[in-house]
Amino acid sequence: MAEQLYNAVFIGSIYALFALGFALVFSVLDILNLAHPTVFMLGAFIALFVIGTLGLPWFVALPIAVLVTGLFGIVLDRVAFAPLRRRGAPALSSMISSLAVTLIVVRLVELRYGGDFITFPAGAVPAFVFRVGDATFEGIRLAIVVLTVALMLALTYVLRRTQLGRDLRALAENPRAARLLGVNVDRAIAATFFVSSALGGLAGVLLAFAYNTLDSKMGVPLELRAFTVMVVGGMGSLPGAVIGAYILGFGEVASLVYLPTELRDAFAFGLLFLVLVLRPTGLLGQKSPDRV
């Protein structure tokens, strides 16, 4: 039972880290970045590259992966989103362009590493284990949970207390007004993508460390969960996304006990659909679902 709980918290944290980045871009720029699962996967593979090919230890690989994915996020924006923004294209176009980038990046990774599951070289990944009574807990999962909470607090602080955070909130509220008021919109957008992708990449590395495996399609199940998380928590709300993530995490672990495995995915979608029908704004949502 305690292990189940621990699992639920761990899974919730991964969802939360992933969803935070996703929700950040949505709340500031109103676009669904369908390439987010790609940065998740990219983070893991960069770590693999640094450890496996460059032979560096995991505590060097981690920050490098995070940094590189953050920078990738900026490139992603320049390539896939900025031209559409300039034209005033609808949200759907951005979704498709991010999809196109996903196609390309996933394939590139597969060309180098193939499409199957890969494990890290032996001993490369930190593996602390500790016991409480009868139960065994993996330390790395605990580290992930702690890290998620810490990052969430840090992000909240940045958004509330710093100039950058104010700029981002202005941008989220009204892009045109923000520009007129002197907000450096381009820099704010670059920062948004950097942070969002870095978070996604971090989530990817941590998950890969925790399970000691990675593959090119690891982002896909998370992508669909991310929708549920955002909707349940409330579109446009970052704390909402985190809460939604934990609700989903707990819900899934619980449903595993009661539902046959085939229906496990159904929990996430059932929840999503239910929320959209009954309370589309979610728990803490700020954006009206009437907005296109």
Partner 1 sequence: MDAVFDFLRTYSTTIAVIGVSALLALSVWLTLYAGQLTLGNAAFMGVGAYVSALLGRHLDTPFPLALFIGAVSAAVLALPLGAIVFRLRGVYLAIATLAFGEIVRVILLATPITGKGQGLNGIPPKTELWHIYLSLAIVAYVLWRVQGSTLGRAWAAIREDEIASASQGIAVGRHKLAAFVIGALIAGWAGGLSAHVTFSIDPSDFGFTKAVQVLVFAVVGGIPNVLGPILGAGLFTALPELLRPLKDYRDIFQGAILLLVIIYLPRGLVTFVEVRRTRRLSRIGAADVA
Least distance (Å) from partner 1 to the CB of residue 100? Answer: 4
- Residue number, 94 or 148, with CB nearest to partner 1: 94
Nearer Cβ to partner 1 (106/168): 106
3-state secondary structure of 228: helix
Which residues contact partner 1 (rule: CB under 8 A)? 32, 79-80, 83-84, 87-93, 95-97, 99-104, 106-108, 111, 220, 224, 227-228, 231, 235, 260, 262-263, 265-266, 269-270, 272-273, 276-277, 280, 289-292
Residues paired with 118 in a beta bridge: 214
Residue 82 Cβ, how far from partner 1 at the closest point, in Å? 10
Provide, rounded to whole angstroms, the least separation between the CB of residue 228 and partner 1.
8
- Picking from 22, 39, 37, the residue whose alpha carbon sits closest to that of residue 220 is 37
Best CA proximity match to 36, nearest among 118, 94, 120, 113: 94
Which CB atom, from 167 or from 215, has the smaller least distance to partner 1?
Answer: 215
Least distance between partner 1 and beta carbon 187 (Å): 23
Amino acid identity for residue 142 in this structure: L
Q: How far is the CB of 285 from partner 1 (least distance, A)?
A: 10
Which residue's CB is nearer to partner 1, number 181 or number 266? 266
| Closer CB to partner 1, 52 or 270, in the complex | 270
Please name which of 15, 19, 24 lies closest in space to residue 193, comparing C-alpha atoms.
24
Alpha helices in the chain (DSSP H): 2-29, 36-48, 58-76, 82-87, 91-113, 139-161, 163-173, 175-180, 185-211, 220-233, 238-258, 264-278
